[in-house]
Amino acid sequence: MKTFGKLFTFLVYLFLYAPLLVMIIFSFNEAASTSVFTGFSLHWYGELLNKRQIGEALQNTLILASLSSITATLIGTLAALGIYHMKKKAVVKAYMTVTNIPMMNPDIITGVSLMLLFVFVGKTLGMQDSLGFGTLLIAHITFNIPYVILNVLPKLRQTDPHLLEAALDLGCTPVKAFIKVVLPAISSGIVSGLIMAFTLSLDDFVISYYTTGSDFQTLPTLIYSITKKPVKPYIYALFSIIFFVILLMLVLMNVMQAKSDRKNARKNS
């Protein structure tokens, strides 16, 4: 059973990584071929650097992800506080249902539905092409907010409700009490909501594809249009770089996580 388990695990990982490894290998191929490896070369990476289009798209993606995740964190944190203080269960349930819609709906529906709204409003206002950076930003904020709420709300619920009262009791005004006591208690939830929103925004293709215009490309929408035609291996160089960036981030996160786990373990002992 044990050896079977290990073999099975290995095979699944092979399945998960084989295509990515093939891609990385051929990004170092001398020739343009993706079937025969003729020799090691960084030539495609050099070519990648010359693609201004890609640099621009990367910049767009980062700007979009930053703006949308920060805005979503602001709105989402306020919303989580509002929901936390709601007294009627039915109202809370209604809010949570609406919050769940962008998460449960397939991306294509979220994208198409927002596009229909934007196009309709654009037409009503007599605009030629209403889709662009603005609509894209709105779309990203929309699908990011729920993740912020779902990260902050549990932190609020875990926080001792008497903490706020204790601060009031000791002379803080409600706003001061919130900043000095509640905010530190939920800050980890806010930060993880922000990070999650940022990465989701970086990664999103489907919703972006329907809500952006031709003048604003993100990295994923650019990749889509490049891979529609037969491609040159410089795109594999791009994919490989993305792979290694994610790998680096994951390793860093794990090291940090392991450190804090060990710290907690020592604290408890």
Partner 1 sequence: MNRKANIRQVLLNAPYTLWAAIFVVVPLLFVAYYAFTDSGGNFTLENLSNLSRYANVFKKSLLYSVIATIITLFIAYPFAYFMSKRSANVQRVQMMLVMLPMWMNLLIRTYSWTLILERNGIINNFLELFGIEPLKLIGTPGAVILGMIYNYLPYMILPIYTVLSKIDVSILEAAEDLGCNSFNKFRRVVLPLSISGVVSGIVMVFVPSVSTFYISQKLGSESEWLIGDNIEYLIKSTTDGMNVAAALSLVLMIIILASMAIMNRFADSSDGGMIV
Partner 2 sequence: MEKNNKLIELKNIVVEFDGERVIDDMSLYIGDGEFVTLLGCSGCGKTTTLRVIAGFIQPQSGEVFFDSKNINGVPPYKRSVNTIFQRYALFPNYNVYDNIAFGLRVNKVPEKEIEQRVSEMLKLVNLQGFEKRSITKLSGGQQQRVAIARAVINRPKVLLLDEPLAALDLKLRKDMQKELKNIQRQLGITFIYVTHDQEEALSMSDTVVVMHEGKIQQIGKPVDIYNEPKNAFVADFIGESNIIDGVMEDDFKVKLDGKSFECLDKGFAKGEPVDVVIRPEDVDIVPAGQGMLRGVIKSVTFRGVHFEILIDVQDFMWMIQTTDEYKEGQEVDLKIDPDAIHIMKKSKYSGQFGDYSTYSDEMDALSEITEEDEE
Hey, which residues between 150 and 209 contact partner 1 (CB under 8 A)? Answer: 174, 199, 203, 205-206
Residue span 131-170 as binding mask against partner 2, x where in contact by CB under 8 A, dash where not: -----------------------------x-xx-xxxxxx
Nearer to partner 1, 62 or 138 (CB): 138
Look up residue 122 and give its amino acid.
Answer: G
Q: Hey, what are 58's tokens?
A: 């990367």
29 pairs with which residues across the strands?
Answer: 40
Hey, which residues between 238 and 267 contact partner 2 (CB under 8 A)? Answer: 267
Among partner 2, partner 1, none, what binds residue 75 when CB lies within 5 to 8 Å by partner kind?
A: partner 1
Distance of CA 82 to the CA centre of its chain: 24
Please give the Cα distance from 16 to 85 (Å, whole number).
Answer: 44
CB of 207 to partner 1, least distance (A): 11
Hey, which residues between 27 and 56 contact partner 1 (CB under 8 A)? Answer: 34-36
Angle at 73 between CA 187 and CA 120, to 5 degrees: 170
Among partner 2, partner 1, none, what binds residue 191 when CB lies within 5 to 8 Å by partner kind?
A: none
CB of 223 to partner 1, least distance (A): 5
Total residues contacting partner 1 by CB under 8 A comes to: 75
Nearer to partner 2, 2 or 87 (CB): 87
CB of 214 to partner 2, least distance (A): 49
For residues 68 and 140, the answer to whether their CB atoms sit within 8 Å is: yes
Helix (H) or strand (E) holding 235: helix 234-268
Helix (H) or strand (E) holding 211: helix 206-211
Q: Which of 5, 19, 106, 171 binds partner 2 (CB under 8 A)?
A: 171
Among partner 2, partner 1, none, what binds residue 70 when CB lies within 5 to 8 Å by partner kind?
A: none
Total residues contacting partner 2 by CB under 8 A comes to: 20
- Look at residues 64, 37, 65 and name the one whose alpha carbon lies nearest to residue 197: 65
Please give the Cα distance from 185 to 203 (Å, whole number).
Answer: 29
DSSP helix/strand/coil, 134: helix
Distances (CA, A) of 168 to 85, 173, 189: 16, 6, 23
For residues 36 and 22, the answer to whether their CB atoms sit within 8 Å is: no
* Interface segment toward partner 1; rule CB under 8 A; list 44-52, 150-158, 159-167, 221-229: 221-229
Q: What is the DSSP string of 47-71?
A: HHHH-HHHHHHHHHHHHHHHHHHHH
Among partner 2, partner 1, none, what binds residue 234 when CB lies within 5 to 8 Å by partner kind?
A: none
Among partner 2, partner 1, none, what binds residue 162 when CB lies within 5 to 8 Å by partner kind?
A: partner 2
Among partner 1, partner 2, none, what binds residue 61 when CB lies within 5 to 8 Å by partner kind?
A: none
Among partner 1, partner 2, none, what binds residue 200 when CB lies within 5 to 8 Å by partner kind?
A: none
Binding residues for partner 2, rule: CB under 8 A, are 160, 162-163, 165-174, 176-177, 180-181, 184-185, 267
